[in-house]
Structure 1
Amino acid sequence: MRKNLILILFAIVLFSCKSTSVVNTKLDNKKEVMLKGNWTITSINFPGSDYLKVNSFNLEDSNCFIGSNWSFISNNNKGEMSLNNPNTNCKSFSSPITWYVNKDGNFVLKIINNHKAKNVNSGYILKLDNVTETSFDLIDKINVAGQIKNITYTFQRK
């Protein structure tokens, strides 16, 4: 009996612990409303961008995202993104997305791509910066030669 009680207590402690890496889900509705609408990525900057390639969002080379179209709907945190760079090395891609901005200033993104949102277990956490009525930046972390550097996606309102 004592052994069972100890195992039960251990299981309760084990399953009740929360990870400290969990993303804050409290929403920043004011910033979300500012992002509502249609946007285009106009530039992508990171150290070594002249000679390094970065695979953005596990989809395509970062240069293929220049000119991509993004739509954000703030009342249901859905939208769509599409790659349409005429560069012959870039493939076309379009997908529904879910997104939100949390109180920590993070932009949390899921690319749905022919799945239900609840079945997509991975996504991206980017820092939202320089938000204005006509532009904003999303900043991701990348590994460049063993060092963590920022990659900045600059969005302009369409």
Structure 2
Amino acid sequence: MKKILFTGLLGAIVATSCSTANQAQTARVDNYNLKGIWQVTSVDYDKQFKIKPFGEGMDVNCFVGSQWTLIPNNGKGNYMVSSSECPSVQRNFMFNVTKDKQFSFKVIPDGTKAKQTTAGYFMQLENQTATSFDLVQSVSDGSTPITVVYHFQKAN
């Protein structure tokens, strides 16, 4: 009886660890497939709100045309906003994709180490293909949840 119980327990542990390993492998693949230079082609949101994402103080539409470089093997990236109607900005950041397809990133100010930066942003990675993906951000004006969708297209 003990042998059957032990065998069943061992099987459950192996099944659980394989499932966790598969989820971790999927997250690594999602992360790796983001490698390259991407451009925000459009941003969808409820236009009755003024969205100023990532602490930049500029309108969300300034991010249309912005270029994002993602380097998954070290989790580093940067984005560059350069529009005639918006201030030019370039920011370095650290990023990761979790097994739940949560894209997390934190902007690293110049002269600061990543471990000194504790605040960041979370977005859901959706509709990922070899040439495009969406990042879905949920923000709030204090009472109303607002969904912002950034559409990315591979630039190289």
1:96, distance to aligned residue in structure 2 (A): 1.2
| Aligned partner of 1:153 among 137, 145, 150 | 150
TM-score (norm 1): 0.77
Aligned-partner SS, 1:35: coil
Q: State how far apart, in whole Å, the 2-side matches of 1:91 and 1:113 are.
A: 17
Looking at secondary structure, tell me which structure has more helix per residue. 2
Cα drift, residue 146 of structure 1? 2.6
In angstroms, what is the RMSD of aligned CA positions? 1.5
Q: Give the structure 2 partner of residue 3 of structure 1.
A: none
Is 1:63–2:61 an aligned residue pair? yes
- Structure 2 residue aligned with 1:137, among 119, 123, 134? 134
User: Is 1:39 aligned with 2:38?
Assistant: yes
1:7 maps to: none
| 4+ long deviations beyond 6 Å | none
Tell me the secondary structure at the aligned position of residue 139 of structure 1.
strand
Unaligned runs of 5+ in 1: 1-25
User: Match for residue 80 of structure 1?
Assistant: 78
Measured in 2, the distance between the counterparts of 1:84 and 1:94 equals 9
- Match of 2:32, SS state, is helix
Gaps of 5+ in 2: 1-23
Give CA deviations for 1:55-107 in whole Å, capped at 9, x if unaligned. Answer: 111112101111111000011110111111121xx111111111010011100
**TM-score (ref. length: structure 2):** 0.78
Alignment length (residue pairs): 129
Q: For 1:55 and 1:62, locate their aligned partners in 2 and report how far apart those are by CA, in whole Å.
A: 5
Amino acid at match of 1:146: S
Amino acid at match of 2:81: L
The percent of aligned pairs where both chains have the same amino acid is: 34
Match of 1:113 in 2: 109
SS in 1 for 2:55: coil
Measured in 2, the distance between the counterparts of 1:29 and 1:85 equals 33
Displacement, 1:144? 5.2
